[in-house]
Amino acid sequence: MAEYAIELKNITKTFGKVVANSKVNLNVKHGEILALLGENGSGKTTLMNMISGIYFPDKGNIYIEGEEVFIKSPKDAFKYGIGMIHQHFKLVDIFSAAENIILGMNEKKDKKRNIYDEVNEIANRYGFDIDPKKKIYDMSVSEKQTVEIIKVLYRGANILILDEPTAVLTPQEIEKLFKVLKAMKEDGKSIIIITHKLNEVMEISDRVTILRKGKYIDTVNTSETNEKELTDMMVGRKITLKIDRVKTDFDRPLLEVRNLSVKADDGSLAIKNVSFYIRGGEMLGIAGISGCGQKELCEAIAGIRPVTSGQITHKGESIIHLKPKEIIEKGISMSFIPEDRLGMGLAPSFSITDNMMLKNYGENKGIFVDRKSARERAQALIEKLDIVTPSTETPVRRLSGGNVQKVLVGREIESGPNVIVTAYPVRGLDINSSYVIYDILNEQKANGVGILFVGEDLDVMLALCDKILVLCHGEVMGVVHAAKTTKEKLGLMMTGSLNLLEEQSERAWGMAKDSQLTEEEWIKLGEEDNKDVEVENNGEEH
């Protein structure tokens, strides 16, 4: 047996004048978990796409079990035992787990097998929990991920690539996934995991390979490094990994949501009787498994999704049934940073300058467009957020995902809002870019802006937010103080195993229905709120 299951030597890939990978080296041993780290645009995805057969390298060599191979298609990758589990699953919703697993394989060969027995055999071998006959549309996110992993194992994969596998999982689901990965490692599988969560890198990996600007930097043993050292190698300079929860004096509520119900695209209720409020200088986190109504909630507040019932008020004024343009015309300065940055947030074919103008089109007078001031704002944004772009006139679709997100977040904040609704503002961003966004949000919070923060990294949410509201299937499971709770408790609430709402005083939240409270009543409400969210079901403080 060769020393390495897979080895890459001096891999180079260019797209026109852009060098995505330059003489990159990487190797993975048998029975090893290798973490691949790098900032946005460092070439991680391009490198993995060459291993999985989507791209073919311009230069360099790939070796499987010590022998050079040429991977020109995903079919070739499977032939050499390579399987990739993408962050966005490639499954057919109306098919069962078993049907998805054998999809595209030789039908005659598969008819001779009992697919259900084979799937169960793989599941039992590595500790998966799956029903082969269950339809994809009835599955949770973690179950869908399980199908993807079993799909590549069923095809004989010995080398697995996982792209951001924990992005939308609860702490309990992440723990279960890591047990499975360790079981596969013990079985001799070679695993490459791409993640931006350094605490997970330290927990699950044996070695770490770092890329920076398309170049190979180093490979280190996980046991001999730390998060700070890894970050410095990724970025190329020393940076501080610290999220500070900015302390502010809370003002009266800027945004109030009362008994809100909103329908999903399929007509079912995505949000059911949700109530909360956000005060000036306060950051409220929304935690929940992906698809539990976060998107619909944000869209309803932003005025782009109709409300079934309930109320949304901004500074005491109802904004129900108003279009986004009407909300702006009424002087309600509310910024919405959607999770789909190119589909909803920006016009991908427009330049950075033009996208800046979309937010401030009302400033133009007559038939003439003021591109000069928009260009100046775009240039200031590029310098402030360190956006990597050839110029202010570059179409945003040509930028990396991280730089696109910086343009979106920067444009919304530059408009001077007093309420920010943001959904997954750092999704797909590297560690350095993420901390830039956290600092910007904290700066806005310190200026008295109310922030609704929908996130997926519970560690970040606990460090950044003041309070966290937890959703499960569109219903509120409770509201907790971020400084006085744990990831484990949030995970239980996200799955519906723990419901604190029934234990928290209805009086505090009921009082919030009246926007005309006196200052003394608001102070009393705050005291009730603080008292209630610090108490668990058993009445003990956490």
pLDDT tens-digit map of 481-516 = 888 888 888 988 888 888 877 555 444 444 444 445
Dihedral (CA of 299, 300, 302, 305) sign? positive
Pick the CATH number of 4-235 from 3.40.50.1970, 3.40.30.10, 3.40.50.300, 3.30.420.60: 3.40.50.300
Full pLDDT tens readout for the chain, 542 residues: 788 999 999 999 998 877 889 999 999 999 999 999 987 778 888 899 999 999 999 999 999 999 999 999 989 999 999 999 887 788 898 999 999 998 877 655 445 457 888 888 898 999 888 899 999 988 877 888 899 999 999 988 999 999 888 876 777 788 889 999 999 999 999 999 988 788 889 999 999 999 988 899 999 999 999 988 898 888 777 766 667 777 777 667 888 898 999 998 888 999 999 989 898 889 999 998 877 888 899 889 988 899 999 999 888 888 888 888 777 666 565 556 665 666 667 888 899 998 888 766 555 555 567 788 888 888 988 888 878 788 899 888 878 767 888 888 888 887 778 888 888 888 767 777 788 888 888 988 888 889 999 988 888 899 999 999 999 999 999 888 888 888 888 988 888 888 877 555 444 444 444 445 555 555 555 555 555 444 433 333 33
Strand partners, 59: 12
CA distance linking residue 169 with residue 456, whole number of Å? 8
Nearest to 249 by CA among 523, 535, 528: 523
Tens digit of each residue's pLDDT (9 = 90 or more) over 83-97: 998 877 888 989 999
The DSSP annotation for 97-143 comes to: HHHHHHTTS-HHHHHTS-HHHHHHHHHHHHT----TTSBGGG--HHH
d(CA 531, CA 418): 27
Structure tokens at 119: 């799937």
How far is it, in rounded angstroms, from Cα 464 to Cα 245? 5
Which alpha helices (DSSP H) does 321-464 contain, by range? 324-329, 352-359, 371-385, 401-414, 431-446, 458-464
Task: Tell me if 358 sits within 8 A of 408, measured CB to CB.
Answer: no
Token readout for 370 is 């003021």
In the chain, where the domains are located: 4-235, 251-333+418-425+448-533, 339-416
* Euclidean distance between CA atoms 391 and 398, whole angstroms: 11
Give the closest residue to 22 by CA, choosing from 31, 30, 4, 10.
Answer: 10
Three-state DSSP state, 50? helix
Distance CA 259, CA 309 (A): 7
The answer to whether 4-235 and 251-333+418-425+448-533 have equal CATH topology is yes
Question: What's the CATH architecture for 251-333+418-425+448-533?
Answer: 3-Layer(aba) Sandwich (3.40)
DSSP string for 431-460:
HHHHHHHHHHHHHHHHTT-EEEEE-S-HHH
